[in-house]
Structure 1
Amino acid sequence: MIALFGLAACVLPGAGKEEQTSGAADYAAYCAGCHGAGGAGDGEMAAGLETRPADLTGLAARNGGAFPTTRVMAQIWGYTGGKDGGRVMPQFSALLDGALVPYDGGDGIQTPTPIRLVELAEYLKVLQK
């Protein structure tokens, strides 16, 4: 009986639950190395890249003041291949294979979208100047 209680004490609270993430945490883990903590394209790895990472702080400004949510999400997901299918930014589709939520990316249509992609896009909106 004592051994049973000892084993029960070893079970971690929340074990088996899905990992909790946020757009800020995913940005820090997957984007900041190239795009920088503030999104200016000045991350630690930027100097070693052939093409400088985009300055994410001006996405809305370069789009007439409106954040281009659907286009940004497509870029992160990996749908946009760039010129002739070439792509500088790595695809993050494997990271985004999780729970889906209905989300309107700006076209008025609620589309099932990976929650981590939504959270990351929403975080990028905070970085806008």
Structure 2
Amino acid sequence: MRRVYLYPIGMISLFLLAACVLPGAERAGQTTGAGDYAAFCAGCHGPGGKGDGEMAAGLPQRPADLTQLAARNGGTFPTTRVMAQIWGYTGGRDGGRVMPQFSALLDGALVPYDGGDGIMTPTPIRLVELAEHLKTLQN
């Protein structure tokens, strides 16, 4: 008799859990790397990452062609360097920085992430998602 009651409860619990993790089951306000790229990066770097965004012409320095990051690094995407640039750790020559800092990408949950250096580092999830999106733009 006890099994009869546990089975429906177990099945309901399983479906509720699945709804939380199914692909495409997005929560309201959930961000993605592609969405953050469109919001924060595409204006300068362009929708495809070639450095040809709408705002690029008005900048003192042409934005980087993000599609060539791996090619310029011997075929390996330089994840840690890219994340440091976005985060704002690299200040450029003489501390001058053309690219603004994006504090919104640093807020929120931290996840352990290995950027390719073998070290699991607590990293803002939005920064990880953006770096992973940039990998998909490589030629």
What is the TM-score with the length of structure 1 in the denominator? Answer: 0.85
Counterpart for residue 120 of structure 2: 110
Picking from 74, 78, 90, the partner of 1:68 is 78
CA contact (8 A) 1:78 1:93 kept: no
1:3-50 alpha-carbon deviations (Å, 9 max, x no partner): xxxxxxxxxxxxxx8730000000000000000000000000001111
User: Displacement, 1:123?
Assistant: 0.1
Q: Which runs of 4+ in 1 moved over 2 A?
A: none
Counterpart for residue 68 of structure 2: 58
- The percent identity for this pair of structures is 85
Instruction: Tell me the amino acid that sits aligned with residue 86 of structure 2.
Output: I
Counterpart for residue 35 of structure 1: 45
Gapped regions of structure 1 (runs ≥ 5): 1-16
Instruction: Tell me the amino acid that sits aligned with residue 29 of structure 1.
Output: A
Greater helix proportion: 2
Secondary structure at the counterpart of residue 31 of structure 1: helix
What is the TM-score with the length of structure 2 in the denominator? Answer: 0.79
Counterpart for residue 90 of structure 2: 80
Over the aligned positions, Cα root-mean-square deviation in angstroms equals: 1.2
Counterpart for residue 7 of structure 1: none
CA contact (8 A) 1:46 1:52 kept: yes
Whole-Å Cα distance in 1 between the matches of residues 35 and 52 of structure 2? 18
CA contact (8 A) 2:50 2:66 kept: yes
